[in-house]
Amino acid sequence: MREVNLLTRCTFLLLFFILVVTQICGATTFTYSWRRRRFNQSFVLRIYSGAILALASGITILAMMEILKGHPNRWPYLAGCIVILVTRLKVSFSCDIIRIINNILDVLIHLNSLTRNPNIFRLRHLMFLIFSIQNITRSLSMIMRILFPIILENPKDANLVILALFWFLILLLLQITLNISLFVVLIAIFNQLHRYTRTISNDVNKLRNSPMLDSGQVQVLIKQLQSASQLLINLRSKTFRITMQTIQIFQYPWLCAIIFGLMPFNCFRAIDWKDLYYLAICAGNIIFNCTIFKILSWESRTSRSFCHFHLSNYHQGLDRMIDELLHQEIWEQVKISIYGIALDMKTLLKLLSIGTFLVFVNSQSHLQR
């Protein structure tokens, strides 16, 4: 077993930092147990997150009711806030996230024991995490610069609603960052599986081209390769299922993120450099997220090295097992979609086209005035 290198340590520390931030803000309610080496639901964090959620919910509802007394036609805003609160409660206290993270830990443990190499992360994986943190900080900075002038001009009740919604936006961004972190870990796992697949494929080619071994030695080596290949197939299948479950859980946060990501294109008129900077941040966030989706889909494909595993002259069982792999569900790439909408590069072009169209219409209407 190799030693853990500095890059892997830094990546795990960054993942731990993201988890701690989500716990402080009340976005997650689970902690890591060093004794059991698993994530468990924390009763203290549940109370802490529930108290913050109840406080923000109460402030939002009471402030909206005060606003409705003077403006009854704004009742859709109160209905929208209630929908956000209910969905936020469902995502926050869901046990599915804990189960998925524990399943990822199990895959990492089995993968490390199989490959004898705990260093699954590369520099690009660390950069993905750094870019995700950079995106959330820039988004929060942009939201603060937009909301603070509005708070200074509005009455007290409206300010309370704006502050509560600002907190909900922070939680939404933290959920998106947590999901991106899970995707980065899954990308690293798929990449490590590809590398180990190439290793087994090279061993198979060496065995096929080795004329100096007798039949007994060949059978022993084939059984070893078959056992390693079977473990590899199981890990690939389990990683594929974990990825699909992760996409299923975070559908609603991604839908909200897309909607909030397009809203600035309708608010700004892109006349001065300040507005252009805000729009560039929004466009960069959308491009980064779709790039992560594309990389995950690309890494989830079945390696071509499996097609060269056949040893028909020695062992037909290994051939049948590889043929079974090629007909499994992981033969297809992971397709990330939310409520039937595929999040791929075509969708990215559509979103950017919609944003550009909104900016063009708003700028033209402003110039005509």
Query: Tell me: the pLDDT tens digits for 37-82?
Result: 888 888 888 888 888 877 777 776 776 666 666 656 555 555 556 6
Contact (CB, 8 A) for 8 and 125: no
Q: What is the mean pLDDT of residues 177-198?
A: 88
356-363 average pLDDT score? 72
CA distances (Å), origin 311, targets 32, 196, 222, 231, 305: 44, 18, 9, 18, 13
Q: Do the Cβ atoms of 182 and 246 come closer than 8 Å? A: yes
Give the three-class secondary structure for 44: helix
- The separation between the first and the last C-alpha atoms of the chain, rounded to the nearest angstrom, is 70
Q: What is the pLDDT of residue 184?
A: 93
pLDDT exceeds 60 at position 213: no
CA distance 120 to 188: 6
Angle at 308 between CA 306 and CA 310, to 5 degrees: 100
> Whole-prediction pTM value?
0.85
**Residue 79 CB neighbours (<10 A):** 10
Q: How high does pLDDT run on average in the chain? A: 76
In this prediction, residue 128 carries a pLDDT of: 92
341-347 own/partner pairs: CB under 8 Å, 24+ apart? 343/254, 343/289, 343/290, 343/293, 344/290, 344/293, 344/294, 344/297, 345/290, 345/294, 347/290
Secondary structure (3-state) at 300: coil
User: Cα separation of 99 and 111, whole Å?
Assistant: 18
Helices (H) and strands (E) in the chain, counts: 11, 4
Decide if 364 contacts 317 (C-beta within 8 A): no
Asked if residue 32 has pLDDT above 90, the reply is no
Dmax of the chain from CA atoms? Answer: 91
Q: Of all helices (H) and strands (E), which one includes residue 325?
A: helix 316-326
* pLDDT tens, position by position, 98-121: 889 999 999 998 888 888 888 889
Q: Which residue from 296, 285, 305, 337 is spatially nearest to 125, judged by alpha carbons?
A: 296
CB 26 within 8 Å of CB 48: yes
Lowest mean pLDDT among 101-115, 192-206, 311-325, 353-367: 311-325
Instruction: Express each pLDDT in 280-308 by its tens digit.
Output: 787 888 888 888 888 888 887 765 555 55
d(CA 107, CA 90): 27
pLDDT at residue 216 tops 90 = no
Token duo for residue 65: 């009711």
